[in-house]
Amino acid sequence: MTKPSSDVTNKIADSTQKALPLTCVDHKLSPVSFIPSPNFNERPADVCIDALVIHAISLPPNSFGGPYVEQLFLNELAIEDHPYFAQLAGLTVSSHVFIRRDGEIIQFVPFDKRAWHAGESMLDGRSNCNDFSIGIELEGCDDLPFITAQYESLAKVAGVLFESYPGLQWSRVVGHSDIAPGRKTDPGPLFDWEKFKNLFEAIN
């Protein structure tokens, strides 16, 4: 029997992901691809996970669909593939979850661990938002709208997280730009917060 290509396997996995409801078991989403990033550490003792931070990322900037975001989170970025990547050499970052343009969800860090997504940041007077937040990266940029499939996946993920981590509340669902103003602009002016909230309420 001929072994399916990786593209076929990915399409089957993506179809399964979209067809089945999301759950969170042992701080990991299911059915979702889990690709462990080395870029995480333990949260402070007795911390309450009570914030959700929405980001946007594209590598190279404004380019979608390639392997580079995944490579970045795994410390495997092919620096020679694009001039922009030179400034990212040695950077160690991660996100708990990455949502591609087609809505595919990939998890890189278990939710009970501290992903390195926010950097220097502050929310409601508390610094070091990585300590108490979950980070979700959307494949996108400031200059192009996000895709409905991404909003749908984001709403599903948020719903599962709200069920799994009672400290989360809507008032503490924020953008990266909200916790690092002047330093970060994502998810950008074209992220539709109303659409996200409406889908969240409809799905959950």
The three-state DSSP-derived secondary structure of 48-98 is: CCCEEEEEEECCCCCCCCCCHHHHHHCCCCCHHHCHHHHHHCCCCCCCCEE
Whether the CB-CB separation of 196 and 155 falls below 8 Å is answered with: yes
**CA dist., res. 30 & res. 13, Å (int):** 11
Q: Is 68 exposed, middle or buried (0-12, 13-18, 19+ CB in 10 A)?
A: buried
Residue labelled with tokens 């929405």: 54
Q: Give which of 103, 105, 117 is closest to 151, Cα–Cα.
A: 103
pTM of the entire structure?
0.91
Q: Tens digits of per-residue pLDDT, 42-68? A: 999 999 999 999 999 999 999 999 999
- Of the residues 42, 104, 120, 137, only one is catalytic, namely 137
Q: Give which of 196, 194, 187, 204 is closest to 150, Cα–Cα.
A: 196
Is 201 labeled as catalytic in the residue annotation?
Answer: no
Q: Tens digits of per-residue pLDDT, 99-142? A: 999 999 999 999 999 999 999 999 999 999 999 999 999 999 99
